[in-house]
Structure 1
């Protein structure tokens, strides 16, 4: 499925689906937590932090491995690349705002801190959607033209290295959830054989339980 001469940038679009889905889901889950339900509050807060950490690492890799190469090789598009960096900075600030709201909500599990957190999550999502759209429509074509397959694959490999060992099956499930059969085959093909066996035997059920526990309660 993956071309051999140019980067398979569509895999970034698939990863972006995960961030879009979670950014839409988390404010709804937070808003549904009943005042005083500290256990549920803690669970949703943990999901928010995991999402924020994953997005931070995703953008750090782009800052380190993609933007410098485009500055060197696609000079006509310096303004576009600079806009991507500015959007990353803005998104970082929205995540800081979300992180600052979490302790207050976790401490009190009250309606007022919950509302403050939900508002900040919505602000974050608005900034995220703008960035992902720009990146997919304007930047990924530049990546295909100016990065090698090996350089692009390094981005994916480094991304996998940031996933905690005990979270690997959950991360894989999050990617596969809305992938087409062809896309699922591509991502599973990148997983070593033992990992694919583990996914079939254990990981799929583990991810379903995780999703049911997080999204099923209110």
Structure 2
């Protein structure tokens, strides 16, 4: 069976997705340590860590929801010889959704002062999420994303990025952008910024980037690394 060629111009690059995955990998690897590190912190410091974790959990949920709605159905239709792969991708999303929900349920009580025992339970749940994230992204980047160029158009790929941006509350968009750009090279920064309209790009350079650096300094200090 021939594969329908949806992209008649230059094939899309999926590296922007890999860059976003890199952010999730790093943030979840650090998540449990942040919970444990702020155990004896002030209430304000605990809230700072909790806010970052809540944003992280919510952002990954919306990232996967966007793929489930805008990517996997297209690939399943256009690259039908990989039905088991698409089933695994969606199954891993469902498993991660349950793990995210468990971590989220533990996060609220910990943030409001439930004590170190609840903190250790939350840290363990975040470690489970981190392991599942690594496994899922490894397979997605190795097996699934290489199939997208040629069968997914640039407009369709851009729609996934736009949906991800729209899912983040406006007040938190610069925080998420900073998290994504944190470990990027100049070429990757251009790739990520291309998903944003001009006004947010200008604001990021003017005030957002500096504000994110200050937030990172406060977060590091809260967990004893400042």
RMSD between superposed Cα atoms in Å = 1.8
Q: CA deviation at 1:140?
A: 0.4
Q: Does 1:44 align with 2:49?
A: yes
Structure with more of its chain in helix, by fraction: 1
Name 1:201's counterpart in structure 2.
206
After superposition, the C-alpha distances for 1:105-124 in whole angstroms (9 at most, x for unaligned) are 23434221111000000011
> Bigger CA drift: 178-187 or 22-31?
178-187
79, 82, 86: which one aligns with 1:74: 79
- Answer 1 or 2: higher relative contact order, Cα 8 Å, separation at least 6: 2
After superposition, the C-alpha distances for 1:120-173 in whole angstroms (9 at most, x for unaligned) are 000111111000011111100111132112111110111111122222222222
Q: With structure 1 as the length reference, what TM-score do the two structures score?
A: 0.92
Relative distance call for 1:197 and 1:104 in structure 2 (3 A) is closer
After superposition, the C-alpha distances for 1:12-31 in whole angstroms (9 at most, x for unaligned) are 00011110111011111101
List alignment gaps of at least 5 residues for structure 2.
1-7
Q: Does 1:145 align with 2:150?
A: yes
After superposition, the C-alpha distances for 1:186-212 in whole angstroms (9 at most, x for unaligned) are 323443333332222211111101111
Structure 1 segments of 4+ aligned residues over 4 angstroms from their partners:
none
What SS does structure 1 have at the residue aligned with 2:161? helix
List alignment gaps of at least 5 residues for structure 1.
none
Q: CA deviation at 1:36?
A: 7.2
Q: Is the 8 A contact 2:158 2:195 kept in 1?
A: no
Write the mapping of 1:86-101 to structure 2, written as runs, cut at 5 A. 86-101=91-106
101, 123, 127: which one aligns with 1:118: 123
Q: Does 1:8 align with 2:18?
A: no
What SS does structure 2 have at the residue aligned with 1:178? coil
Q: Does 1:214 align with 2:214?
A: no
State the number of aligned residues: 216
